[in-house]
Amino acid sequence: MRIILIGAGKVGHILADRLTAEEHDVTIIDRNEEVIDRCQDSLDVMCIKGNGANARTLVEAGVDRADIVIATTAGDETNMLCCLIAKRLGAKYTIARIRDPEFNESQMLLQNEMGIDVAINPERATALEISKLLRYPFAGSIESFARGQVEMVEFRAQKDDSIVGVPMKNLSSKLPNIPQVLYSMVERDNQVIIPGGDFFIEPGDKVHIAGNMVNITNFFRYLGRNSLKVRSVMVMGGGKITYYLARMIMPVGIHMTIFEVNAEKARSLSEQFPKADIILGDGTDQDLLEEQGLTQMDAYISLSSRDEENLMTGMYASRKGVPKVIAKNTRTTYADILNQLGLDSIVSPQSITCSTILRYVRAREHSKGTEIERLYRLAEGKAEAIEFIARKGDSYIGIALKDLSIRPGNLVAVILHQGKVIVPFGNDKIEAGDHVVIISRELGIGDLNEVLYR
């Protein structure tokens, strides 16, 4: 597809790299000459120096032939204006990054009036991810599919877990009372494994399981992991993510202590959330953290603008015995090191934004093929979880999975049939309209027919 990307900052650059890897024709527009030079040196894209909100620049980029225009500049107003002008000049579909909470209140009106097909708020999406991690505090990451009816949860296996050392094919016979979930993927020694019948889990493995919410909850209860209930949270940084997070978790009874060094921000937070404890001070000050009850907290979340501060304070909280620690990090190259240091729950607004945009791009690309409902990057981008909606007339419809060929490196994780979540085995079938979640070690799978065939 022809895609115009306006703004090549951190998100834009990552997005352009992934879009070109999936063989899209990408044109980048950016005002900054250094950014343009960097993109020309490192990416196989066409680059135009200019203002993406300028009609002449958009025409030069071929906006009338663009399938998608994506605006990810630093300014919300600029992104909205880019989409409005692009749509008027003939672009088929527009995506805008809009971050200001004020705009979030009237998002639907803005989308209808400004020609924006999709508005993405990275901070709100990150806060939503954190809120899910607080619900399952023993998990490293959580993804939802089929409108929340199916969940995929990542956790680290411990040596005392009953599932450790048992071949997959023997789990049901060895552990007859264990709730039924699918062991969809395992990360070990920086490698992604789709487990087969002879595979067994080892201590330290990062295990991804899939199922409905009830079975997932019962599974962790069976392992004895559900004892922690998060009732108190300490947060470093009073930015937009913290604002959205407070709106999500405080109404359900979770108390927040928030550190913010900026007096104006701290005052604003105290006015918006009078039931929270707002501390005007440096959240990296260990004495201050101790004074405000760090060791009594159920969770600690570091959300400052500096990765180094987030990681250091996160590790400090972990060493002090805080049961759940979540850190914001924009540098994915740190992921393996952080896991070794005990920080399993890392959130990245950039990665969340890119994954969300890629999902919409793929949905547009394959709108005439199998529809893509959700797409998530897993294991620092080494694998993907993709939710397809099965299409009537495709060759796999109504045929038992055991009678189909499955492309190597892929796994049918979950089938949602008429509202019922099915953890699939050989005799299960996919019917038209079913939601089907695929785990793939390949990047760029865009059609269910590429995975399942006769």
Q: What pLDDT is stored for residue 108 in this prediction?
A: 65
Assign 366 a pLDDT band (cuts: 50, 70, 90).
low
Q: What pLDDT is stored for residue 135 in this prediction?
A: 81
Tell me which CATH homologous superfamily contains domain 2-120. Answer: NAD(P)-binding Rossmann-like Domain (3.40.50.720)
Q: Are 222 and 161 in contact, with CB atoms under 8 Å apart?
A: no
Considering the chain, what is the average pLDDT of its residues? 89
Domain positions in the chain: 2-120, 136-223, 232-322, 365-453
Q: Are 46 and 28 in contact, with CB atoms under 8 Å apart?
A: yes
Q: Are 347 and 331 in contact, with CB atoms under 8 Å apart?
A: no
Q: What pLDDT is stored for residue 367 in this prediction?
A: 53
Paired strand residues for 49: 30
Pairing of strands 345-347, 324-328: parallel
Q: What pLDDT is stored for residue 193 in this prediction?
A: 94
Residue 402: both structure tokens together: 């055991």
Q: What pLDDT is stored for residue 58 in this prediction?
A: 96
Q: What pLDDT is stored for residue 273 in this prediction?
A: 96
Q: Are 182 and 439 in contact, with CB atoms under 8 Å apart?
A: no
Topology, domain 365-453: Alpha-Beta Plaits (3.30.70)
Give me the DSSP letters along 327-368. Answer: EE-S-GGGHHHHHHTT--EEE-HHHHHHHHHHHHHHHHHTTT
Mean pLDDT of the 265-282 span: 95
Residue 202: both structure tokens together: 């080892």
Tokens 């005052």 label which residue? 267
Q: Are 323 and 317 in contact, with CB atoms under 8 Å apart?
A: no
Decide if pLDDT at 386 tops 70.
yes
Q: What pLDDT is stored for residue 333 in this prediction?
A: 62
Q: What pLDDT is stored for residue 243 in this prediction?
A: 94
For residue 441, which of 206, 150, 205, 193 has the smallest C-alpha distance? Answer: 193
Paired strand residues for 233: 256, 299
Q: Are 50 and 29 in contact, with CB atoms under 8 Å apart?
A: yes
Q: What pLDDT is stored for residue 170 in this prediction?
A: 94
Mean pLDDT of the 177-200 span: 92
Whether 2-120 and 232-322 share one fold: the answer is yes
Q: Is 320 exposed, middle or buried (0-12, 13-18, 19+ CB in 10 A)?
A: middle
Which CATH architecture does the domain made up of 136-223 adopt? 2-Layer Sandwich (3.30)
- Return the top range by mean pLDDT from 111-115, 309-313, 339-343, 378-382: 309-313
Assign 137 a pLDDT band (cuts: 50, 70, 90).
confident
Q: What pLDDT is stored for residue 104 in this prediction?
A: 67
Phi/psi-derived region of residue 105, left when phi > 0, alpha when psi is between -120 and 50, beta in every other case: alpha
Q: What pLDDT is stored for residue 10 in this prediction?
A: 87
Tell me which CATH homologous superfamily contains domain 232-322. Answer: NAD(P)-binding Rossmann-like Domain (3.40.50.720)
Q: What pLDDT is stored for residue 313 in this prediction?
A: 93
Question: In the chain, pLDDT over 90 holds for what percent of residues?
Answer: 60
